[in-house]
Structure 1
Amino acid sequence: MLKAKVFLICLSVMLLLFSAIAAFEMYAMERAIARSIYADVFDDMQDIGYLEPLLADYYLGKMQDLGWDVASDVFAGSNPRAEGLRARKERNEMVTLSLEVRPSRLSQWMHLFAKGETSFRFTGSRPSEYFDPGW
């Protein structure tokens, strides 16, 4: 009888430990995917001097395919967002990208435990690399 209790306790601890490791790996993977999307959009935005709507829609589709909530404007706070307001390198203008996504429920819980919030947020500014052809 004692061996059965010890076996069940050990089995429970092993299941709990493996579940915690799997949950953390899932959280780390989703955060890395969100960070890579942020880096890709930021590189493209820096090259063209603004956040192109087709580029934003493409990455919104990718995030939606991952099951993330993209109903709100995930690029709110990004600047410039229109071609006419494009940042130019010769003027030493900056592009700013702000990305906020709500990942899967498991990652939200893990992020709440680790950082105190449920959304992944990334924000940064870089100098524009866009040269006006007429310059």
Structure 2
Amino acid sequence: MVKAKVFLICIAVLLLVFSGIGAYHMYALERSIARAIYTDILDDMQDIGYLEPGLSAYYLEKMAELGWDVSGDVFAGSGPRSASERARKERNEEVTLVVSIYPSRVAQWMNRFVAGEVIFSFAGSRPSEYFDPEW
């Protein structure tokens, strides 16, 4: 009788430990994917001087394919967002990207445990690399 109880407790502990390890790896993978998306968008923004609507739509589609909630404005706070406000290198202007992503439920729980919030947030600015051809 005692051996059966010890066996069940050991199995429960092993299951709990492996589930925790799996959840943390899933969280780390999703966070690294989100960070890679943020870096790719910021690189493209730096090259063209603004957040192009086609570029943001492409990455929103990619994030939706991953199962992330993209119903709100994921790029709120980013700028410039139109070609008429394009940041130019000759004026020493910068592009700013702010990305807020709601990942999967497991990643939200783990992020609340690790960082204290449920969303993945990335923000940064870089000098624009876009030269106006008429300059």
Identify the TM-score tier after normalising by the shorter chain. Answer: over 0.9
Once the two structures are aligned, what percentage of the paired residues are identical? 67
**Distance apart, 1:27 and its partner CA:** 0.4
CA distance in 2, matches of 1:5, 1:80: 63
TM-score (norm 2): 0.98
Partner of 2:84: 84
> Pairwise CA RMSD of aligned residues?
0.6
CA distance in 1, matches of 2:16, 2:70: 32
Matched residues, number: 135
Partner of 1:27: 27
TM-score (norm 1): 0.98
Instruction: Supply the AA of the counterpart residue of 1:94.
Output: E
Instruction: Supply the AA of the counterpart residue of 2:100.
Output: E
Deviation string 1:7-42 (CA, Å, 9 cap, x unpaired) is: 111111100000000000000000001000000000
Runs of 4+ aligned residues of structure 1 deviating over 4 Å after TM superposition are: none
Partner of 2:132: 132
Partner of 2:99: 99
Partner of 1:8: 8
Partner of 1:69: 69
Deviation string 1:45-69 (CA, Å, 9 cap, x unpaired) is: 0000000000000000000001111
CA distance in 2, matches of 1:3, 1:118: 42
**Distance apart, 1:70 and its partner CA:** 0.4
Gaps of 5+ in 1: none
**Distance apart, 1:4 and its partner CA:** 1.2
> What aligned pairs does 1:36-47 form with structure 2 within 5 A after superposition?
36-47=36-47
CA distance in 2, matches of 1:118, 1:6: 37
**Distance apart, 1:3 and its partner CA:** 1.5
